[in-house]
Structure 1
Amino acid sequence: MAIELSVEEQEIVDYVEGRGAVSIDNLDGEKNRYSQIARDQIGKKKTISIRLLESDLERLKAQSVRQGLPYQVLISSLIHQYANGKVKFDV
């Protein structure tokens, strides 16, 4: 059974198998360093203050009840999805 790879995945395989990728000095140290950077960033949150129309906030709260989420989690999730290109809107 053959595994179907996306174009991006196939490019990575071709790069690695084509000897384009080479090991670096102090690999274990670098893996530890990047692991620490990831641990430091995961879940790191910043409190902000934002002004919203009261009617929009009430609609968001109603949506959050229907979704079974706290409204702040819903807002955070929407912002996260937009920041990562998963949600778009027309300007």
Structure 2
Amino acid sequence: MNKLDHEEREILDAFVSGNVKRSKDAAEIQKRHQEYAEAMLRKDARINILLPAKDLRGLQKKALAEGIPYQTLIASILHQYVEGRLHENN
């Protein structure tokens, strides 16, 4: 396990000892976050795009190495870019 700071250690100890209790609205919060996740992952739009064959083959190889469909990889890359989590390395 990674080294924990004092606060993290206290939280872990409380959890292990059974002293952590759910908040009264935990079920409501969980439901709301489930709805957020479902909305974000909903695939409700289709696009057609022309790519150079070499780029498509490269994407397919990377997807195969990851064990996912290449369309899923492309969608993930686009999502990360839109969310600002994918940056060009210079």
d(CA) in 2 for partners of 1:62, 1:75:
12
After superposing on structure 2, the runs of 4+ consecutive aligned residues of structure 1 that deviate more than 6 Å are none
Structure 1: how far apart are the matches of 2:60 and 2:88?
20
Alignment CA distance shift 1:62-1:39 (3 Å): closer
The residue aligned with 2:7 is 2
Matches of 2:73 and 2:56 in 1, distance apart?
Answer: 11
Matching residue of 1:43: 41
For residues 7-32 of structure 1, what are the alpha-carbon distances to aligned partners after superposition, in whole Å with 9 as ceiling and x for unaligned?
A: xxxxxxxxxxxxxxxxxxxxxxxx8x
**Structure 1 vs Structure 2 CA RMSD:** 2.9
Opposite residue 63 of structure 2, the aligned amino acid is S
Question: Matched residues, percent identical?
Answer: 30
TM-score normalized by the length of structure 2: 0.54
Could you tell me which residue of structure 1 aligns to residue 78 of structure 2? 79
Q: CA deviation at 1:51?
A: 1.0
Aligned length: 63
- Corresponding residue number in structure 1 for 2:52: 53
5+ residue gaps, structure 2, are 1-5, 9-27
Which ranges in structure 1 are unaligned for 5 or more consecutive residues?
A: 4-30
